[in-house]
Amino acid sequence: MTVPPVLSVEHLTIRFGGLVAVDDLSFEAAPGQITALIGPNGAGKTTVFNCITGFYKPDVGRLTFRRETGASFLLERMDGFRIAQAGVVRTFQNIRLFPGMSVVENLMVAQHVKLMHASLFSVAGFLRLPRFLHAEAQAIERARYWLERTGLVDQADLPAGSLPYGAQRRLEIARAMCAGPSLLCLDEPAAGLNPRESQGLNELLLSIRDEHGISILLIEHDMSVVMQISDRIVVLEQGRKIAAGPPDEVRVNPEVIRAYLGVEDEETAVAVLQGEGARA
Q: How far is the CB of 149 from another protein (least distance, A)?
A: 18
Q: How many CB atoms lie within 10 A of CB 63?
A: 23
Contact assessment for residue 205 and residue 216, using Cβ atoms and an 8 Å cutoff: yes
Cα distance between residue 103 and residue 237, in whole Å: 38
Q: Which residues contact 244 (CB under 8 A, 6 or more apart)?
A: 27, 232, 233, 234, 235, 250
Closer Cβ to another protein, 121 or 164, answer by number: 121
Q: How far is the CB of 119 from another protein (least distance, A)?
A: 5
Order of strands across the sheet that contains 7-16: 19-29, 7-16, 60-66, 72-74
Q: How far is the CB of 276 from another protein (least distance, A)?
A: 32
Cα distance between residue 33 and residue 232, in whole Å: 8
Q: How far is the CB of 260 from another protein (least distance, A)?
A: 28
Cα distance between residue 135 and residue 70, in whole Å: 26
* Nearest C-alpha neighbor of 39 from the set 30, 27, 31: 27
Closer Cβ to another protein, 159 or 245, answer by number: 159
* Nearest C-alpha neighbor of 237 from the set 16, 87, 23, 18: 23
Closer Cβ to another protein, 104 or 250, answer by number: 104
Angle between helices 130-149 and 165-178 (to 10 degrees): 140
Q: How far is the CB of 30 from another protein (least distance, A)?
A: 23
Q: How far is the CB of 278 from another protein (least distance, A)?
A: 26
Closer Cβ to another protein, 214 or 256, answer by number: 214
> Which residues are at the interface with another protein (CB under 8 A)?
53, 79-81, 83-85, 89-90, 92, 94, 96-101, 105, 108-110, 112-113, 115-116, 119, 121-122, 125-126, 175-176, 179
Closer Cβ to another protein, 11 or 82, answer by number: 82
Closer Cβ to another protein, 172 or 237, answer by number: 172
